[in-house]
Structure 1
Amino acid sequence: MKAEASLAPLTSILSPKGRGSKREKRVAQYATHYVAGVDEAGRGPLAGPVVVAAVILDARRPIEGLNDSKKLSETKRETLFPLIVERALAYSVVVIEREEIDRINIFQATMAGMTRALLGLTPAATEALIDGNRLPKDLPCPARAIVGGDALEPSISAASILAKVSRDRLMVAMDTQFPGYGFAEHKGYPTPVHLAALQRLGPCVEHRRSFAPVKLLLDQGQLF
């Protein structure tokens, strides 16, 4: 509501002759300015996908308690997840599977996921705020990289939560498909329990072949 009210004085001074002018175009752009926060979950694990989310928040429907997903308890993340889905103007969650990670490497897979997540937003973002210090080269809108943005920008915090919860759910499901590795607990990260299971069972098809601990075992001929 406040955004709409602030536009009234600007639009009221535009004469019919001014239609199509640079000034009117700037007003139109301001009226439809959608800022999307973008973040990922799962760059460091030895198994499973990396998940990227983009979120455009609605200022008229604030969400209390947004923060970096890593600083929130699982219960808090699960509570915030449906609120973000319900109240956001737009959100998009993209899953980059293990095969693509191994084919193009985890950095490129994450960059590709950010672009796809932004392309999946309706309405489209006019600006993106991306957690970290690097930007994909083929983004569909102007963007800024913000180090620690998941704790600074609410839209990035929201994206962080969607990505984290979505990926955790996938890893819990993966645990039933590939029992013994403990995916439901460590979510694929290289914990002592996970590394011990790798040594005992060998890699399964969801383990990232390009990551050193897995590659070493594969080179030794160990495969689930």
Structure 2
Amino acid sequence: MKKATIKDIKLELAGETIAATRLEELRADSRTGVQNLLKSYEQKQQLLREKMQSYTDKRNEEFQMCNTWQIAGLDEVGRGPLAGPVTTAAVMIPEDVFLPGLTDSKKLSKRDRAYFYDEIMSRCTVSIGEASVEEIDEFNIYEATKLAMVRAVTGLKTTPDHLLVDAMTLPVTIRQTSLIKGDSRSMSIAAASVIAKETRDKYMKTLHEQYPQYGFDQHVGYGTSAHLQAMDEYGLLPVHRRSFRPVADRLY
């Protein structure tokens, strides 16, 4: 019987599952190319198992903390920028949904963040809350962030039994736990961080289409040297936060 080519085996190992008997056959194949492919496959499988275990452990910790699976994780993006809204998300992950590799959005590559955004939006209960530039200027960024988070919670189609919030306490009657560095400790908060980040970044890209000279697609409103230079050259926009020092300095 003719042996499968290295190319065919590479395609085979790119599949999701390989039968144990087939793996034994490949282990018995003396070709160096086959053994290299097999080693790479087994390393990827081990990494996947570790990600699955980490995800499961953190989800179990959430359950033990909240004594329910009806958990909503909340996180925000956009407290520090000079322009644009502060965006929050509330995410409820069903008990039977597995998202191995999910973590704080800041630790994910753009590609992985986009992947998890699609997975979370299609498989979880999600709600977005925002506070406008005007609200940020009126109430201050901390209070505006709380307002946006409350909007995210009240926008959920299912009422959670418990909230896990990244380093904040909200004025709601639902039981809640504030977690420092929650986006690294809680899968629900990590999911919310991904949704908030992707949602806000997409909005800032629409601002770039309106005001391309400001470079919002690159700095997404943060006070980079390029952004400050654009403010000096072209002036302030309605989307700039007047209460933030670098912006306020340019009003006078």
TM-score, normalization by structure 1: 0.80
Alignment-derived partner of residue 108 in structure 2:
72
1:175 equivalent in alignment to 2:208: yes
1:139 equivalent in alignment to 2:175: no
- Note the alpha carbon deviations across 1:66-103, whole angstroms, 9 max, x for none: 11111111111111101001111x11011211111111
Work out whether residues 52 and 110 of structure 1, in 8 Å CA contact, stay in contact via their aligned partners in 2.
yes
Aligned residues: 187
What secondary structure sits across from 2:212 in the alignment?
A: coil
What secondary structure sits across from 1:162 in the alignment?
A: helix
Alignment-derived partner of residue 79 in structure 2:
43
- Note the alpha carbon deviations across 1:157-189, whole angstroms, 9 max, x for none: 000000000000000000111221110000001
Alignment-derived partner of residue 224 in structure 2:
191
Question: How big is the alpha-carbon RMSD for the aligned residues of Structure 1 and Structure 2?
Answer: 1.5
Work out whether residues 119 and 140 of structure 1, in 8 Å CA contact, stay in contact via their aligned partners in 2.
no
Unaligned 5+ segments in structure 1 are: 1-29, 220-224
Match for residue 155 of structure 2 among 120, 129, 146: 120
Query: How many Å apart are 1:63 and its aligned residue?
Result: 1.2
TM-score, normalization by structure 2: 0.72
**Cα distance in 1 between the residues matched to 2:198 and 2:225:** 23
**Cα distance in 2 between the residues matched to 1:116 and 1:44:** 20
Q: Which amino acid aligns with 2:117?
A: F
Q: Which amino acid aligns with 1:173?
A: T
Q: Which amino acid aligns with 1:67?
A: T
More helix by share: 2
Match for residue 94 of structure 2 among 45, 58, 61: 58
- Whichever of the two has the greater Rg, that structure is 2
**Cα distance in 2 between the residues matched to 1:64 and 1:51:** 25
Identity of matched residues, %: 41
| Greater than 2 Å deviation, 4+ residue runs | none
Alignment-derived partner of residue 131 in structure 2:
96
Unaligned 5+ segments in structure 2 are: 1-66
